[in-house]
Amino acid sequence: MIFDVITLFPEMFAALKTEGVIARGVKKSLLEINTWQLRDFATNKHRNIDDSPYGGGAGMVMQVQPIRDCIGKIKQQNPKTKVIYLSPQGKKLTHKIALELSKFEAITLLCGRYEGVDERVIEFDIDMEISIGDYVISGGELGAMVLIDAVSRQLDGVLGNQDSLDDSFANGQLDYPHYTRPEIIDGQAVPAVLLSGHQANINDWRKDKAFEITQKKRPDLLNK
Ligand SMILES: C[S@@+](CC[C@H](N)C(=O)[O-])C[C@H]1O[C@@H](n2cnc3c(N)ncnc32)[C@H](O)[C@@H]1O
């Protein structure tokens, strides 16, 4: 899968490409993360890509031309790319949406800054708006990284032998509790069944616990 990210801060994506599970996916060529510096598409000598808003008011607005030219260039390479604008006004990112997006061959992520992008970009150049939650952050980059991570985890081979099938939300429930060494700490012991070596009993216990935890922490999931 190919991610093309349009951003004013491409350096922010270095961490994703060098650290952890997603970086391993990149190394194994299961995914590709390309960044595009939006200023490279500016046509003025100061490389400005924003201007003041019509109607007045605070903040600057990202202009249509550089964004449109950048998307055009990406589409020359990946004509089928789905263009997503990270926006607090978008559909909220969920496990279900991450799974749906993982079926695409290529995704282009537009990261806004300032007051966001000229509305005509959203009307004419964007296939989908995605939000990472009901709050406003300073730029789309962190949202794009969250999306890339959540989507890439769904790609075959990215997690290696770590299975995402029991992860929270995958079955409409939360994950079961996990324990590791030592067996007893400050008098608190690991549940005996996990030491029993009886896999069927362990699986049953995990299933029950996942349900119990979901009921306690996120009962809304069980009503869906
Ligand atoms: C300061 S915000 C602009 C907020 C915009 N004026 C509004 O109130 O809807 C700058 C950029 O950050 C990104 N952003 C902010 N909050 C976000 C969220 N919850 N999810 C995804 N992207 C977000 C968007 O790309 C946005 O264009």
Of the chain, the percentage scoring pLDDT greater than 90 comes to 96
pTM value is: 0.97
Report DSSP letters for the chain, one per residue.
-EEEEEES-GGGGHHHHHSHHHHHHHHTTS-EEEEEEGGGG--STT---EEPPTT--SS-EE-HHHHHHHHHHHHHH-TTPEEEEEEEEEEEP-HHHHHHHTT-SEEEEEEP-TT-B-HHHHHHH-SEEEESSSS--S-SHHHHHHHHHHHHTTSTTTTTTS-STTSTTTTSSPPPP---S-SEETTEEPPGGGGS--HHHHHHHHHHHHHHHHHHH-HHHHT-
Supply the CATH number for residue 191's domain: 1.10.1270.20
Residue 219 lies in a domain: yes
Q: Looking at ligand 1, which residue's alpha carbon is closest to its atom 23?
A: 87
11: its two tokens: 């350096």
The number of the ligand 1 atom at minimal distance from the alpha carbon of 111 is: 25
The catalytic residue among 10, 39, 68, 115 is 115
Tell me the per-residue pLDDT of 167-180, one tens digit each, with 9 for 90 and over: 999 999 999 999 99
Mean pLDDT of 98-127: 98
Residue 163, pLDDT > 80, answer: no
| Residue 140 shares a structural domain with residue 189 | no
User: In terms of residue numbers, what domain contains 98?
Assistant: 2-152
C-beta of 14 in contact with ligand 1 (< 6 A): no
Catalytic residue chosen out of the listed positions 68, 88, 149, 206: 88
Residue 114 pLDDT > 70 = yes
Active-site pick, 167, 175, 212, 218: 167
Distance (Å) from CA 133 to ligand 1 centroid? 10
Q: What is the pLDDT of residue 162?
A: 64
Mean of the per-residue pLDDT values of the chain: 97
29 lines ligand 1 (CB under 6 A): no
- Give the residue with greater pLDDT, 8 vs 163: 8
**Is the pLDDT confidence value at 25 over 90?**
yes
Residue 17 lies in a domain: yes
pLDDT of residue 49: 98
Is the model's pLDDT at 164 over the cut of 80? no
List of residues 6+ apart from 50 with CB closer than 8 A: 60, 61, 62, 63, 113, 114
Domain membership flag for residue 159:
no
Query: Is there a domain that residue 158 lies in?
Result: no
CATH at 79: 3.40.1280.10
What's the mean pLDDT in 210-215?
98
Same domain, 43 and 96: yes
- Mutate-to-test residue for ligand 1 from 63, 83, 85, 86, highest number of ligand atoms within 8 A of CB: 86
Convert the pLDDT of each residue in 60-89 to its tens digit: 999 999 999 999 999 999 999 999 999 999
Active site residue 50: no
Instruction: Tell me how many domains the chain contains.
Output: 2
Distance 95 CA to ligand 1 centre (A): 21
Tell me, yes or no, whether 83 and 186 share the same domain: no
pLDDT at 43 over 90: yes
Confidence at residue 224, expressed as pLDDT on a 0 to 100 scale:
78
In a domain, 160, yes or no: no
186 pLDDT more than 80: yes
Whole-number Å distance, alpha carbon 171 to ligand 1 midpoint, is 30
Whether residue 117 is contained in a domain is answered as: yes
In a domain, 157, yes or no: no
| Catalytic residue flag (residue 153) | yes
**What pLDDT score does 211 carry?**
97
With a 6 A CB cut-off, is 87 part of the ligand 1 pocket? yes
Residue where a domain terminates, one of 97, 123, 152: 152
Distance 23 CA to ligand 1 centre (A): 26
24 and 69 part of one domain: yes
